[in-house]
Amino acid sequence: MPPRLIRRIAHLDMDAFYASVELLRYPQLKGLPVVIGGGRRSADDALLQAHADVPLNKIPVADFPRLAGYTGRGVITTATYAARQSGVGSAMGLMKAAKLCPQAILLPVDFAEIRRYSRAFKDIILDIAPLMEDRGVDEVYIDFTEVPGGQRDGGRVLGRLIQKTIFQHTGLTCSIGVAPNKLLAKMASEFNKPNGIAIVLEEDLQDKIWPLACRKINGIGPKADEKLQGLGITTIGQLAQQEVDWLIDHFGQKTGAWLYAASHGQDERPIELESEPVSISRETTFERDLHAVRDKAELGAIFTRLCEQVAADLANKGYVGKTIGIKLRFDDFKSVTRDQTVEAYVGDAKTIRQIAGLCLKRVPLTKRLRLLGVRVASLMRLQDAAETASKKPLALSNKGSNASDLIAIEPQLFD
Ligand code: TTP
Ligand code: MG
Ligand code: MG
């Protein structure tokens, strides 16, 4: 019989994610204090306008907007590790940060770019280790247990491979914690940030986990922490010393039992896999019933907006599709649907609008309408579609400098 495998769960978190994505665009800022935050300001547009004739990576460092003199109510979304050395970090007011680190460069968030890189690094992981749980924009859990290399050196070998592959394809670094469960893995991924790996084994509980503040347990928020402190408990080790009944008395059955288990490093939660959507749709019920002829202009505008929303949803989630459908509900509450499958995968609002328009023509529009919906099905991941279309591997050079090629392939495809 093969030996029983040890459960190895990894938590991977990107390093200074929003800031690192900006550094791909502006590699000349590498190693400098950079903070991301506030809204887009006139200074951001002025920078680009003043250098419209040079590539982004040639804009002189001296010309970037600085934190010094910032006035306003913006807060820091994240900061590069160089900036963190001056004591600035997430959630700090930009005015306060400007005092601590006036020379830091201040840049706005580009959410579209963030989402693209978020999808890209997760797709890279899925290629290597298929059991992945998406935990938001810059982090995932991964089940290493049965993946090749996932048991070697406590998971370090597979962790290194994933770090290396993400870096090669995107130019981004991340940190990984590997442990027997999600709870410990989440704590471990912070141990060696940035670009680090930390392994926590069952027997490491006392040395590596118990000295930490209770707040490091994902699930103990400021309120629970305050209550624990009021009871004289500041570290996880102190929490683990308490009787489970005592904890239940103070926190209730559920939380008390959970606190006890967590402080002993116990967590049975499974990895929840990403489920692939079957279709992406938007629909709207009108404020008053609309007539296809008399309210043509209004209906047309709503129809276009629905198509734009579906296209945006597809882009955000990283899909294209080739079955476009519509749904109508009439004033007598009867509904009809029509759809059409086209040859090429589509994702842009204009094409969706055209095909959906053809579907609409197939419905007799004599009654008034109360609802209109647009749906795209037969989905394919944008990246797979891109690969199929170009027949070229998406792999990039090893240098990291061409990192955005992976991403840049998307927009042109479906123009
Ligand atoms: P985090 O992973 O918490 O932080 P980080 O990736 O910037 O830095 P670290 O190396 O310590 O992991 O958050 C991921 C991104 O989410 C971050 O780059 C910006 C964004 N974010 C917010 O928008 N609001 C917040 O309050 C925090 C903490 C992060
Ligand atoms: Mg992060
Ligand atoms: Mg994170």
Q: Are strands 174-179 and 197-199 parallel, antiparallel or unpaired?
A: parallel
Residue type, position 80, single letter: T
Mean per-residue pLDDT of the chain: 91
In this structure, are residues 284 and 302 in contact, taking their beta carbons and an 8 Å threshold?
Answer: yes
Judge whether 308 counts as a catalytic residue. Answer: no
Q: With a 6 A CB cut-off, is 78 part of the ligand 1 pocket?
A: yes
Among the residue ranges 22-26, 252-256, 313-317, the one predicted with the least confidence is 313-317
Distance (Å) from CA 114 to ligand 3 centroid:
13
Among protein residues, the one with the nearest Cα to ligand 1's atom 25 is 77
Q: Rg for the chain (alpha carbons), in Å?
A: 26
- pLDDT (average), residues 397-404: 37
Nearest ligand 1 atom, CA 79 = 7
Token output for 323: 């079955």
Q: Is 152 helix (H, G, I), strand (E, B) or coil?
A: helix
Show the domains of the chain with their CATH numbers. Answer: 9-14+113-205 (3.30.70.270), 17-109 (3.40.1170.60), 212-263 (1.10.150.20), 279-413 (3.30.1490.100)
Distance (Å) from CA 15 to ligand 2 centroid:
5
Token output for 410: 């998307």
Q: Is 66 helix (H, G, I), strand (E, B) or coil?
A: strand
Nearest ligand 1 atom, CA 20 = 18
* Residue to mutate (ligand 1; options 84, 90, 113, 174; most atoms within 8 A of CB): 90
Ligand nearest to the CA of 78: 1
- pLDDT (average), residues 9-28: 98
Alpha carbons 33 and 271: distance in angstroms, whole number? 36
Q: Does residue 414 have a pLDDT over 60?
A: no
pLDDT digits (tens, 9 = 90+) for 277-321: 889 999 999 999 999 889 999 999 999 999 999 999 999 888 999
Q: With a 6 A CB cut-off, is 13 part of the ligand 1 pocket?
A: yes
In this structure, are residues 64 and 31 in contact, taking their beta carbons and an 8 Å threshold?
Answer: no
pLDDT digits (tens, 9 = 90+) for 157-205: 999 999 999 999 999 999 999 999 999 999 999 999 999 999 999 999 9
Distance (Å) from CA 8 to ligand 1 centroid:
25
Burial readout 140-159 (b: 16 or more C-beta within 10 A, e: otherwise): bbbbbbebebbbeebbbebb
In this structure, are residues 374 and 356 in contact, taking their beta carbons and an 8 Å threshold?
Answer: yes
**Residue 124 confidence (pLDDT):** 95
Candidates 22, 113, 133, 139; catalytic one = 139
**Residue 314 confidence (pLDDT):** 94
- pLDDT (average), residues 241-270: 97
Among protein residues, the one with the nearest Cα to ligand 1's atom 20 is 77
